[in-house]
Amino acid sequence: MSGLDSNKALLGFGWAAAAMKQPKQALVPWSELMRRDAGDAAVLEARLAVPYAYAELGAYGQALQGYSDALTSYEREDVGLDASISAIRSGKLVNDLLQSNPADEMGWYSNIRRLPRIPHASHLTQLLAQNEFQEAFKNYRDLQYLSKNLLGWTENLVVFGDVLSHRRLAYSERLPQVRANASEGKLAELAVRGALLAGELTRAEAESDASAFADAKERELQARLDSARATLKQVGAEPEFERARERLRLAAGALTWRQAQAYPVRLWEARKALRATDHALTEARGHEAALAQAQRDEPARFERFAARIAELDGRIKQLMPQVAALSRQHQDYLEDLAVAELTLQKQRLAEYAAQARLAVAQLYDRASVAKKADDEIKP
């Protein structure tokens, strides 16, 4: 027979048998109780009940020995209770409960499953199963979890502060360099060059000037033709240079025809390149404006982050002593509950010990009366 109420049931069954004047029957459940953990009140009472049953059966020697054993066990249990109370007051109860029953988060869904490693922890079995103690312990464990979180956030805020300091320093050092590289009149110079190219493109398109789109090879060839034309001009209209003039005319015509053929494609490509240049200049101006805006806004943004970190640090430093004080109160409350429970058991032991001594005295009185009667009967 086992279970939370099995000891009480065995004790009650024995007393029911004793009430019906069946002490021998009562010895069966009580003897079973005698072999169980002495931390239970029913077991302690059974140590009185067994010698009582022997006395009722007339086995006075066994009764006296039973009461003597009971007194010895009560004294031993009293010493154990004192050791338990001392361990509880030293904080070992609550600390060991935390270690033996860990929880990864706050909540009401984790119960005490393991007894603390303190002397005679079985004395607290009934107390630990009570809702009052369970809820108080859960509150204490939640406070410990909150305390660890606050400590973790304290360390995180230090890291955040360091990161913010490094970013602020890097920003103050790098942004001016980036702006200097992006500026230095380059955008204005590029804008002027772009405007000149746009004007030249417009002129070339209006005049259908295919030579304006000549590539490097064609420009080199055009320069050679111009040089040859200047040379022939110097020699005048001499007949021996007529063939050279004809070849110059044919080469110039071929170059003009080639450029005329490539003109539509080159005009389209020039327009496309000019649009890409305008787009790139627009993006560059946008980046420059963003950098200027960042130079104005980022310091204030850094200050807001710094203020937020300082505010959170202040709140955490304010909460930590409050959580510590509440934890101490809950620990004291848990220890008071445990000590009160063990003190009740000490009082119960004292009452059982007094009853055992009284029963021993009554047995001695009964034996003395019986001996006196025997002496009177003898001649």
Q: CB-based contacts of 211: which residues, under 8 Å, 6+ apart?
A: 218, 222, 256, 259
Percentage of the chain beyond pLDDT 90 is: 7
Contact 274, 194 (CB under 8 A): yes
Which of 279, 378, 326, 368 lies closest to 146, judged by CA?
326
Residues present in the chain in total: 379
Lowest mean pLDDT among 55-64, 112-121, 126-135: 112-121
Q: Is the pLDDT of residue 183 over 70?
A: no
> 3-class DSSP state for residue 208?
coil
- Count CB neighbours of 211 within 10 A: 15
> What is the pLDDT at residue 371?
60
> What is the pLDDT at residue 109?
44
Q: Is the pLDDT of residue 108 over 60?
A: no
Q: Is the pLDDT of residue 195 over 80?
A: no
According to the per-residue pLDDT averaged within each range, which of 36-40, 174-178, 352-356 is highest?
A: 352-356
For residue 133, what pLDDT band results from cuts at 50, 70 and 90?
A: confident
CB hemisphere CA count around 21 (13 angstroms): 0
Contact 96, 118 (CB under 8 A): yes
> What is the pLDDT at residue 350?
92
Q: Is the pLDDT of residue 55 over 70?
A: yes
Q: How far apart are CA 83 and CA 103, in angstroms?
A: 28
Q: How far apart are CA 121 and CA 378, in angstroms?
A: 57
The string of DSSP codes covering 335-366 is HHHHHHHHHHHHHHHHHHHHHHHHHHHHHHHH
What is the rounded average pLDDT of the residues 47-60?
88
Q: Is the pLDDT of residue 79 over 70?
A: yes
> What is the pLDDT at residue 178?
60
Q: Is the pLDDT of residue 64 over 60?
A: yes
Q: What is the CA radius of gyration of the chain?
A: 53
Interval 331-372: pLDDT, tens: 899 889 889 988 988 898 899 999 999 988 888 887 776 565
Interval 290-313: pLDDT, tens: 666 666 667 777 788 888 888 888
For residue 110, what pLDDT band results from cuts at 50, 70 and 90?
A: low
Q: Which residue has the higher pLDDT, 64 or 255?
A: 64
Interval 246-294: pLDDT, tens: 787 788 788 788 877 877 887 788 788 878 887 877 777 676 666 666 6
SS3 of 76-97:
HHHHHHHHHHHHHHCCHHHHHH
Please give the structure tokens belonging to residue 271.
């327009």
Report if pTM > 0.75.
no
What is the rounded average pLDDT of the residues 187-214?
73
According to the per-residue pLDDT averaged within each range, which of 28-42, 85-99, 148-162 is highest?
A: 148-162
Q: How far apart are CA 240 and CA 326, in angstroms?
A: 119
Q: Is the pLDDT of residue 153 over 60?
A: yes
> What is the pLDDT at residue 189?
67
Average pLDDT score, the chain: 79
For residue 322, what pLDDT band results from cuts at 50, 70 and 90?
A: very high
Q: Which residue has the higher pLDDT, 99 or 312?
A: 312
> What is the pLDDT at residue 115?
65
For residue 120, what pLDDT band results from cuts at 50, 70 and 90?
A: low
Q: CB-based contacts of 183: which residues, under 8 Å, 6+ apart?
A: 288
Cα 218 to Cα 205, 210, 228, 250, 261, distances in angstroms: 19, 11, 15, 15, 13
Lowest mean pLDDT among 13-27, 31-45, 112-126: 112-126
> What is the pLDDT at residue 44?
84
Measured between its terminal Cα atoms, the distance across the chain in Å is 56
